[in-house]
Amino acid sequence: MKYVKWGLCIFIAFVFVQSLFFKFTGSPETTFIFGTLGEWSGLAWFGQYGAYMVGIAELIASILLFTRLHALGAFMAVGTMTGAIFFHLFTPIGVAQPVFNEAGEVVGNDGGILFVMACLVWVSAAFLLYQTRKGDLEQVD
């Protein structure tokens, strides 16, 4: 079980950390997603600052996954991915996200990869929480 735990923690942290570049640099993908959500919700500030807030939460979760507080990190991952999955399914951003070139022009879509990754992270983090609750992961720290 020890290797499963670490494998899932590494996977979750990899997905979160590699997305930080997009969230913290104002990439066209991030601007589209959070701008659309800000406009849809009527909360213009979310379009401007939502990516930073989510990115910080994902960074904290990634760090916690490798500490004695790994359950809190997994809980944060489930929470952030629940939000992501909800927004993909029930708002105008949809499942397939546009792909942009260097000039910021839409050149296609991602075929739903971002949504699938959110689902995989959610399942991974939920499994970590379940195993922690059962006590299976406490013995391997």
Q: What angle do CA 91, 50, 21 make, to 5 degrees?
A: 105
Q: Which residues of 117-132 are buried (b: 16+ CB within 10 A; e: fewer)?
A: bbeebbebbbebbebb
Position of tokens 């970590």?
128
For 114, what's the count of Cα atoms within 13 Å in the CB-facing half-sphere? 21
Cβ–Cβ under 8 Å, residues 64 and 72 = yes
pTM of the model as a whole: 0.90
Tell me which residue of 86, 83, 104 sits closest to 95, measured CA to CA. Answer: 86
The pLDDT of residue 104 is 87
- Give per-residue pLDDT as tens, 10-68: 999 999 999 999 999 999 999 999 999 999 999 999 999 999 999 999 999 999 999 99
Backbone angles phi, psi at 75, to 5 degrees: -60, -45
Tokens of 126: 């939920």
- Give per-residue pLDDT as tens, 94-136: 999 999 998 889 999 999 999 999 999 999 999 999 998 877 6
Q: Provide the residue type at 11 as one letter.
A: F
